[in-house]
Amino acid sequence: MKKFLIACFLLVAVTNVQATPEQDRLALREFFAKRFPDLDLNEMINGLYAFDEGAREQWLEMEEFPPYEIAVEAGEEAFNKPFANGKGYADCFENGGIGIRQNFPRFDTDSGEVITLEYAINQCREDNGEAPLPWLTGELAEISAYMAFTSRGNRMNVVIPDDPRAVAAYESGKEYYYTRRGQLEFACENCHMQSAGNLLRADTLSGMLGQATHWPVYRSKWGETGTLHKRFQECNEQVRAKPYEPQSKAYRELEYFLSYMSNDMEMNGPASRR
Amino acid sequence: MKRQLPVMVFALVATLLLQSPAMAADAAAFDAALAKAQATLRDAESKVQLWTTSDQLMKGAAKAAASGDYDLAIELANEAGLHAQLALATAAREKQTWQNNVPK
């Protein structure tokens, strides 16, 4: 009897142990592999175009003259324009800021915070005496688009260091993703896992895998290139949840989790979407 | 008509005087409902993500109050508070259940 009780206790303890981020990522890939057995999961970096053949054809045609091209060019110009103190963005980032998008968000062990690429760009500006840029669209999104463009083909490589604060930030983002919210009581998961590939009105819903590889995005609906946090806000509004501020702690941690789930997938930003 | 004028003025003044306390009470009741709703929203927002409807209802309440429709204003302010409480209730339930949706 005693042995049986100990075995029961161990079983409960084992099943309640928190999964590691890597276990989460592999379980997620398994989920989508079962859900879409005929789909090459790497195609999911293309969002809804992985599922919707008709929309994919239109999108491929659009990619011949991609609407984000103007943002990339403007971003390159802004990136290379020196600050008033003579320094520039290249001085703030490893490898001069080229080909590094896949490493963001990163966890800063000094501040204990998740640093997204856009957050780092504005940090760079402020450290050099420049005013921060608006988070959602415009010059910041353009610089981010340029930096993403230079990182195309690299593999997402978000690291969660062996630091309880980093794990807590990841777990917080994970909880956000799976928690229902807003008057419509939808979690991110409801649309992008349960209903991925299904139609929501006239739009096919993208899947969670690869969702972080291609930002910023030119959305036809927006008529401009915007950042991932603009999309977070929009998703919140669609389920009637009051959005958080862009680059708020909650959104940065959500991006941390979401990006880790796309680890080892090809970076393909910026992108265009409906 | 001239003879009736003082009577009409008296009647008008009397009506206004009699109505004023009632309007003041409505405005005071709205102020109380507004303060209560604002406190509920503040408390809820410090803990969870509010519904967008709360802010919309509060705006509607302010607009109704500005137009003198205090009954509607109070109703909308109370509803805004209720939506904040529902957001809290959803969050409390989800705290216990969100893990069930994580692939294992």
For domain A69-149, give the CATH superfamily: Cytochrome c-like domain (1.10.760.10)
The whole-model pTM stands at: 0.89
> Rounded distance, CA A25 to CA A179, Å?
18
Measured CA to CA, the distance from residue A249 to residue A115 in angstroms comes to: 10
CATH: 3.40.50.1000, 3.40.640.10, 1.10.760.10, 3.10.310.10. Which one for A21-66+161-273? 1.10.760.10
| Positions of A marked active-site | 235
**Residue B7, H or E segment:** helix B4-45
Number of domains in chain B: 1
B52 with A31: Cβ contact below 8 A: no
Please report, in tens digits, the pLDDT of each residue of chain A (274 residues total).
Answer: 566 555 555 444 444 568 999 999 999 999 999 999 999 999 999 999 999 999 999 999 999 999 999 999 999 999 999 999 999 999 999 999 999 999 999 999 999 999 999 999 999 999 999 999 999 999 999 999 999 999 999 999 999 999 999 999 999 999 999 999 999 999 999 999 999 999 988 889 999 999 999 999 999 999 999 999 999 999 999 999 999 999 999 999 999 999 999 999 999 999 999 8
Contact criterion met (CB < 8 Å) for A179 and B91 = yes
In chain B, whose CA is at the least distance from the CA of A179?
B98
Residues of the domain holding B84: 31-95
Asked if the C-beta of B98 comes within 8 angstroms of chain A's C-beta atoms, the answer is yes
Residue pLDDT, tens place only, B61-81: 999 999 999 999 999 999 999
Contact A174/B at CB under 8 A? yes
Predicted ipTM of the assembly = 0.85
Any domain includes B4: no
* B10 in A contact zone (CB under 8 Å): no
Residue type, A86: G
Question: Which ranges constitute the DSSP H helices of A36-116?
Answer: 53-62, 69-80
State the span(s) of chain A assigned CATH 1.10.760.10. 21-66+161-273, 69-149
On chain B, the residues whose CB falls within 8 A of the CB of A181 are 48-49, 87, 90-91, 94
Residues of chain B with C-beta less than 8 angstroms from the C-beta of A27: 102-104
